[in-house]
Structure 1
Amino acid sequence: MTPRRRSGRRRVAGRLRPARARRTERTARSGRLFIPSALTVLAICAGLTAMRTADGGSADLALLLLVTAAVLDGLDGRVARMMDASSAIGAELDSLADAINFGVVPAVMVYTILLRDHSDAASGIGWALVLVYCSAIVLRLARFNTLLDDDSAPAYTRDFFVGVPAPAAAVMVLLPVGLLEQFGEGWWTSTVFVGCWLVFIGLLAVSRVPTLSLKSAKPRARLLAPGLIVVAGAAALLFTFPYVLMLVMVAAYLLHIPFAWRMQRWVSSRPEHWDSAPRDRRLQRRDERRAEVAAGTRRRVIPVRRPSARLGLRVPAGPPKDDRRR
């Protein structure tokens, strides 16, 4: 018997698809996979260049390159989802980029700018603490990847991160560098403070402290105007005093952690609200507070109205009594 020739066509879903169409589809998918991975590689190159620039003494340019790396790292995932180009190799590459850009690069920048020029003992201790921070970020990313594969987790867990995310930790750990550029040398540039700050941020990264995730946040319509005002103020600080903006952002992020912990504790103790949207949970908390006030188990907080005399205001004098009687 003579071997049967391949016709170059394959039956798919009851139809014959030409080999040329299959090759075109593979080429298009390869192009879609290339763009997100290229963005991730560019982010790695920007981060490593930031480390080299910091070693050369240009802290401003190094921070700008690191911000560029963070922006590219945030874009690659969105581009992959928009182009339907998510892949296993892209996920692994993104995780490695996070470990480099948000773990190794900021820690080495802190060591190069603030800790290297001290005595041998101080620089050695500083390098050991840098290694502690880098290890904490790697452990945090490893735990994050394992939690992504947990399909049994309740729906409300998507609204919270476990520990401080790696990008936020990178911004926070660079705060002493920003203070140095804005205010000069001080206690915030000492080896003791910088070393303690590295360990503190590393512990926040590997801790189980809940922090809010902005991916599932849906701001209310009435907060649109105040949000735009906040964005305008942040833009003004970015173009005039960028390191003051860094200080404000780090302080605001640290202050939000107790509120995130309280919200996560509330919803975790109420399984009936695990699948509810964040807005529905806020309404439920408000109704529970009102019910507790009505039952007498919770005090009602009434805003204190300051007397007009304390504010320096005068009550307008009314008409004379005789005129009012008429």
Structure 2
Amino acid sequence: MSMRTTPGIRLLPNAITVLAMCAGLSAVQFALEGNLRGSVAAVAVAAVLDALDGRVARMLDATTRMGAELDSLSDSISFGVAPALTIYAWQLQHNRIGWVIALVFAVCMVLRLARFNTLLDDTEQPSYAKEFFVGVPAPAAGLLAMLPIIVTAHAERPGWWSEPVVIMVWMVAIAALAVSRVPTLSLKTIKVPPKAAVPLLVLVVVLAGGIILFPLFSLATALVVYLLHIPYATYRKRWLASHPEAWEAPPRERRAIRRRTQRRLGLRPPLRRRVAGAARRVRLPRRNSHPDGPRRSWRRLELRRDRFPR
């Protein structure tokens, strides 16, 4: 019997999804015990497992409708319910509005996942739409909501970032980003040019070292960088929407189209002409030049001025 028809192999993606859900719910237990590092690690593990289950299902040709629905339910629990309950048990349980904020965050995550499922069946989207997510994805939103816990666990002391008011405003802001129409880049469709392969591998090694030595600081930095990329993603989607000729173009041709557009709009200075590899020199007029044109010198014309006696 082949691997593609083995029932045990076909259940592997669903098993990974269930493990992700269990990891997300374990964050609540760690928060109740006061183990902030354990709660952050549980949600991070759930995010990693969530990224693996879909890829494993496609590799094994084991994608099913049940697996897709189970994945959405797991995401709603791991990145919606679990972060909301974790933050509530950590700092908001003595605040009356805290439970309302936790409910708002969990409901927004469920609404975000429901919209994501409906967009999967939309066949009228342009080809460039697959390069972007609509709003912040659920795993990123769940980790972003726990950023105050990450900072507190790294600093090993509470601060202004752990105040209940700050946490509630932060959770509402992340929930709004999750259900918004703001585009974010999809890592699944990013293509790396061959010239950037070696620097990217070096960057991966640096990130791995940072995660091993400073895991919480590295996670917080990655989340902040993710937030800062949203303006670039918005600009890129608007540019693609106005340039249909770049939708199916590879990255190299797309960069060439962008450069031509910038030159047409006058955003880049024209290149200087070079002669024999050197910059072309421009002679400036002298200060004491004659208004009617350059004056001829007797010495340059090799003529001798006659001297008349006084």
Matched-pair contact (CA < 8 Å) for 1:99–1:137: yes
Name the amino acid aligned to 1:204.
Answer: L
- The answer to whether structure 1 residue 300 and structure 2 residue 269 are counterparts is yes
**What percent identity do the matched residue pairs reach?**
46
1:232 & 1:299 partners in 2: Cα distance? Answer: 35
Alignment of 1:162-177 (within 5 A): 162-177=134-149
Task: Identify the range of structure 1 (27-36 vs 138-147) with the bigger mean alpha-carbon deviation.
Answer: 27-36
1:209 & 1:301 partners in 2: Cα distance? Answer: 35
2:211 aligns with: 238
2:115 aligns with: 143
Shift of 1:280: 3.0
| Bigger-Rg structure (1/2) | 2
Matched-pair contact (CA < 8 Å) for 1:33–1:85: yes
Shift of 1:54: 1.6
Shift of 1:235: 1.9
- The answer to whether structure 1 residue 185 and structure 2 residue 185 are counterparts is no
- The answer to whether structure 1 residue 262 and structure 2 residue 262 are counterparts is no
Structure 1 pair 301–114 and aligned structure 2 pair: CA distance change class (3 A): farther
1:80 & 1:125 partners in 2: Cα distance? Answer: 41
1:83 aligns with: 60
Shift of 1:292: 3.2
2:11 & 2:59 partners in 1: Cα distance? Answer: 14
2:247 & 2:80 partners in 1: Cα distance? Answer: 33
2:128 aligns with: 156
- The answer to whether structure 1 residue 60 and structure 2 residue 37 are counterparts is yes
2:97 aligns with: 125
Aligned residues: 270
Q: Which runs of 5+ in 2 are unaligned?
A: 272-310
Shift of 1:60: 1.2
Matched-pair contact (CA < 8 Å) for 2:44–2:143: no
Name the amino acid aligned to 1:236.
Answer: G
2:196 & 2:4 partners in 1: Cα distance? Answer: 45
2:98 & 2:147 partners in 1: Cα distance? Answer: 16
2:48 aligns with: 71
Any idea what the Cα deviations from partners look like across 1:252-290, whole Å, max 9, x if unmatched? 111111111001001112233333344432221112113
Shift of 1:299: 5.1
SS at match of 1:161: strand
1:36 aligns with: 13
SS at match of 2:61: coil
Structure 1 pair 285–291 and aligned structure 2 pair: CA distance change class (3 A): same
Shift of 1:107: 1.6
Shift of 1:25: 7.9
Matched-pair contact (CA < 8 Å) for 2:104–2:172: yes
Shift of 1:109: 1.2
Matched-pair contact (CA < 8 Å) for 1:154–1:275: no
2:244 aligns with: 271
Matched-pair contact (CA < 8 Å) for 1:54–1:113: yes
1:26 & 1:230 partners in 2: Cα distance? Answer: 36
Structure 1 pair 258–27 and aligned structure 2 pair: CA distance change class (3 A): closer
Alignment of 1:276-287 (within 5 A): 276-287=249-260
Matched-pair contact (CA < 8 Å) for 2:131–2:189: yes
Structure 1 pair 95–77 and aligned structure 2 pair: CA distance change class (3 A): same
1:215 aligns with: 188
Q: Which runs of 5+ in 1 are unaligned?
A: 1-23, 303-326
Structure 1 pair 301–248 and aligned structure 2 pair: CA distance change class (3 A): farther
Structure 1 pair 280–141 and aligned structure 2 pair: CA distance change class (3 A): farther
Shift of 1:135: 1.0
Shift of 1:29: 4.6
Shift of 1:26: 12
Aligned with 2:168 (options 184, 189, 195):
195
Name the amino acid aligned to 1:182.
Answer: H
1:229 aligns with: 202
2:177 & 2:110 partners in 1: Cα distance? Answer: 13
Matched-pair contact (CA < 8 Å) for 1:107–1:133: yes
Shift of 1:115: 2.0
TM-score, structure 1 normalization: 0.78
